[in-house]
Structure 1
Amino acid sequence: MAQRKENIVMFPLMAQGHTIPFLALALHLENTNRYTITFVNTPSNLKKLKSSLPQNSSIHLREIPFDGIAHDLPPCTENSDSLPFHLFPNFFESTLSFKPHFRKLINGLIDEQNGHKPVCIIADMFFAWSAEIAQEYGIFNALFVGGGSFGFACFYSLWLNLPHRDSDEFLLPDFPEASRIHVTQMTKFLRLADGSDSLSVFFQKVLPQWMNADGILFNTVEELDKIGLMYFSRKLGRPVWPVGSLLLSTGSRAGAGKEYGISTELCKNWLDTKPCNSVIYVSFGSQNTIAASQMMQLAMALEACGKNFIWVVKPPLGFDMNSEFRANEWLPEGFEERIKDSGQGLVVQKWAPQVEILSHKSISAFLSHCGWNSVLEALSHRVPIIG
């Protein structure tokens, strides 16, 4: 009789930067052949995710209901990708509505297994309320942070020590190792936060609840990130484990919920025509873009430098990220035609097969927003990063 495999329940935030490391961790755990994995998310996200799983994967995808309209989000919104920045407070607040549905889901899983409980619940860093449910059922609960611990130590301290308006530079009272923080390093939300705005209320409710978890996992390695790991160990008094670096394979990365603006084959064929270490890859992540004026200047610089490039473009700041990219307004006149005719560059709208690009021998450098997934992917393929 085959030995029963323990079940691990995993529930990431509905965002590309969170789903990718969660899926990488799920596949890693599955490959140990010791666990079954129940991967929880909303219906449309699971539908997109399904194509990323290997054909022989036994990961179970479990739907949880979500009503974005009830939280003043656009119809059919089930993730943060391409969500306007002013709606992010609504999006984060909406995730609190998962709690009763998740409790019901865990109860159902236990009933299906004739009273046998999952061995562990691994929840997103913003789903710290999951610890209460795990404790109700006597299940080990870990929060998983898909990024590096130093950056999130700054994030954690900044949101719990509001406001930050007295000076342009300041020290974090509980994280002096971070040195001085300048206001230009903070997001607009942080610069305006005073503790009473909706985003402050959310973070000041959720972040202290990390102390209720049985442990915190980070997608990092201790050799690179010891200071941040020490901060959380000191701050939370809970075990803190670096479990990285977790990366999806090229095949799995492609299906993490995105439709590319260029086929992987076409992209590879173009790169194959370029000399080794001759192409600059430019991309600013799944939820970031630049101002229209910066976009125009960057286009002019890329063309003038004479280097080959692949540039992933999205509508500039202030425009709907889901809207059509208006090259005639945001790029120099005739730019796309010139670089296409000359073979100097590829302009890709919205999404590109990033891992396949970074792993190609013709790539020489990566101009990036330095999101953690992008950093790890670049490091794993030895591609220098320009931040």
Structure 2
Amino acid sequence: MSKSEVVFISTPGSIGNLVPLVEFAQLLVNHDPRFHASILTITMPQRPTIDTYIQSRAAASATSINFLHLPTVEPLAEDENQSYLAYLSLLIEKHKPHVKHTIADLMSSAESNRVVAFFVDMFCTSMIDVANELEIPCYMFFASPATFLSFMFHIPVLDAEISDDFGDLDTELTIPGFANSVPPLVLPTALLSKKGDTYPCYLSHTARYKEPKGIVVNTFKELEPHALSSLSTSHVPRVHAIGPVVDHNGPAQWQDPDLYESVVKWLDDQPPSSVVLLCFGSMGSLSGPQVREIAFGLERAGFRFLWALREPPKSSVYLPSDPANVDEVLPDGFLERTCKFGLVCGWVPQVKILAHQAIGGFVSHCGWNSILESLWYGVPIATWPIYSEQQMNAFEMVKELGLAVEIRLDYREGSDLVLAGEVERSIKSLMEGDHVVRARVKDMREKSRMALMENGSAYKALEGLIVELMPKI
């Protein structure tokens, strides 16, 4: 029996965008066997772990999802003044002919009934042109929260109203997706200044957000009711809140299985909800001085901890790495003094660690995937944003939703150090102080699971999307 094809493409090099997109593709084909998914991938040699993830998922989803590697394009000329987003946007643009050719082949294949949709992500907006040329309905898959989607739609309005750099403003901003006014310093670093090429890139992408037929957002109604309501206007394509879409297995294939087993064994020996996990995502790392302040704060707080410590990458196109020698980046004697209640390790599959009963708190960079994982397993967060939209996510979690404890809301590269005393106070608040936040997180845990059940809000949203994709069937 031929199946209807759904095609996806994700921003290259971004595991945070790729993983939920793959999980959504899997959710769609599992929910309705009439679909088959093809995921187009742009290779970045600087990030081989992403290829490892793709190989693993391709093997696990051999019959329902096909991963198609696009041909490489002529290498981009290096420009030290070019931002990473500008580099990515040009790289994606150069792949348009390959994408058009690949989808055209799918459309002419005898194995496929028809290509019913092409899903692009937040920075692949140039691929809307391909969908239009091939006369395929185009949708956007948005891996960040509804609050940030609302902000992306509002950027052109702010740009027209405010001539100054946002980072220089001394007044808070009114953004439709937020119930509270938003401090300018929780905007993404790339948007604090209008100088350079990153800010125009954002404007260029957001200018095209009205073009897709619909937008699929990895969130759910019970979590972001205000933000989703703000998006229900004639100026925004129909929004489908189909989350939380979470990879519950985690990228375990990235790391040494012996290390993972030793970490789990250590956790098995700890009391329930007694350990605070410190993990800053696949792209998150901190400076040496900041690492030492965290170490002193952990030692003073005295709670059990598991710390996934990473070294900064060589440049923005590379990922952080595990330290060759943790003794060199930690204070003298730290490991010896904390060996009875703490464990420092390299990369671990975060979602599997959050699922462990010993975890009672999570110091997080506030990537949206991490937030959804923590809510799914009922683990409260202490906010330590680093890059991308994480500052706005942290603001939402603390000020809008009351689902997290604040360490910092506006931390980013170049911020003043979070000193040991602040780390100590925040961890104590996370682990024993704020029972209201912990109760709210537990409640949201149940709501996140109910959303995906039959007749849940996300289940109904997915059903509505399928009706759009295949209205005559």
Q: Give your verdict on TM over 0.5.
A: yes
1:94 has 2:91 as partner: yes
CA contact (8 A) 2:3 2:113 kept: no
Identity of aligned residues (%): 25
Change (3 A) 1:37 1:56: closer
Shift of the alpha carbon at 1:171? 2.0
Shift of the alpha carbon at 1:382? 1.0
1:372 has 2:392 as partner: no
1:336 corresponds to: 335
Change (3 A) 1:284 1:106: same
- Comparing 5-14 and 109-118, the one that deviates more: 109-118
CA contact (8 A) 2:73 2:95 kept: no
Deviation per CA, 1:72-127, whole angstroms, max 9, x where unpaired?
289xxxxxxxxxx9634423432222222211111121233388531111111211
CA–CA separation in structure 2 for the residues paired with 1:114 and 1:319: 43
Gaps (5+ residues) in structure 2?
160-164, 384-473
Change (3 A) 1:199 1:343: same
Q: Tell me, what secondary structure is at the counterpart of 2:76?
A: helix
Query: Structure 2-normalised TM-score?
Result: 0.70
CA–CA separation in structure 2 for the residues paired with 1:296 and 1:308: 17
1:191 corresponds to: 192
- Comparing 212-221 and 33-42, the one that deviates more: 33-42
CA contact (8 A) 1:171 1:181 kept: yes
CA contact (8 A) 1:261 1:352 kept: no
Change (3 A) 1:319 1:160: same
CA–CA separation in structure 1 for the residues paired with 2:345 and 2:172: 40
1:8 corresponds to: 6
Change (3 A) 1:134 1:253: same
Q: Tell me, what secondary structure is at the counterpart of 2:308?
A: strand
2:236 corresponds to: 237
Q: How does 1:156-171 map to 2 (within 5 A)?
A: 156-158=153-155, 161-162=158-159, 163-164=165-166, 167-171=169-173
Q: Tell me, what secondary structure is at the counterpart of 2:222?
A: helix
1:128 corresponds to: 125
Opposite residue 280 of structure 1, the aligned amino acid is V
- 2:70 is matched with which residue: 64, 69, 73? 64
Q: Tell me, what secondary structure is at the counterpart of 1:237?
A: coil
- 1:147 is matched with which residue: 141, 144, 147? 144
CA contact (8 A) 1:128 1:213 kept: no
1:359 has 2:361 as partner: no
CA–CA separation in structure 1 for the residues paired with 2:315 and 2:134: 46
Shift of the alpha carbon at 1:5? 1.3
CA–CA separation in structure 1 for the residues paired with 2:34 and 2:340: 50
Deviation per CA, 1:144-195, whole angstroms, max 9, x where unpaired?
00121013323443466334255222324x638453332321333222224x
CA–CA separation in structure 1 for the residues paired with 2:30 and 2:42: 24
1:315 corresponds to: 311
CA contact (8 A) 2:147 2:177 kept: no
Shift of the alpha carbon at 1:319? 7.7
- Comparing 46-55 and 100-109, the one that deviates more: 46-55
CA contact (8 A) 2:139 2:213 kept: yes
CA contact (8 A) 2:7 2:115 kept: yes
CA–CA separation in structure 1 for the residues paired with 2:221 and 2:315: 39
Shift of the alpha carbon at 1:133? 1.8
Change (3 A) 1:124 1:298: same
2:54 corresponds to: 49
Q: Tell me, what secondary structure is at the counterpart of 1:286?
A: coil
CA contact (8 A) 1:154 1:178 kept: no
1:303 corresponds to: 299
Query: Structure 1-normalised TM-score?
Result: 0.84
Opposite residue 70 of structure 2, the aligned amino acid is I
Q: Tell me, what secondary structure is at the counterpart of 1:120?
A: strand
What is the number of residues matched between the two proteins?
A: 366
Shift of the alpha carbon at 1:261? 8.9
1:280 has 2:276 as partner: yes
Shift of the alpha carbon at 1:275? 1.2
1:40 corresponds to: 40
Q: Tell me, what secondary structure is at the counterpart of 2:294?
A: helix
Change (3 A) 1:284 1:121: same
RMSD, matched Cα? 2.9
Opposite residue 289 of structure 1, the aligned amino acid is S
CA–CA separation in structure 2 for the residues paired with 1:175 and 1:154: 7
Q: How does 1:103-122 map to 2 (within 5 A)?
A: 103-113=100-110, 116-122=113-119
Opposite residue 34 of structure 1, the aligned amino acid is R
Opposite residue 181 of structure 1, the aligned amino acid is V
CA–CA separation in structure 2 for the residues paired with 1:86 and 1:219: 27
2:420 corresponds to: none
Opposite residue 360 of structure 2, the aligned amino acid is S
2:217 corresponds to: 218
1:78 corresponds to: none
Change (3 A) 1:92 1:344: farther
1:246 corresponds to: 245
1:182 has 2:183 as partner: yes
Q: Tell me, what secondary structure is at the counterpart of 1:180?
A: coil
CA–CA separation in structure 2 for the residues paired with 1:201 and 1:145: 20
Q: Tell me, what secondary structure is at the counterpart of 1:217?
A: strand
CA contact (8 A) 1:276 1:362 kept: yes
Opposite residue 185 of structure 1, the aligned amino acid is V
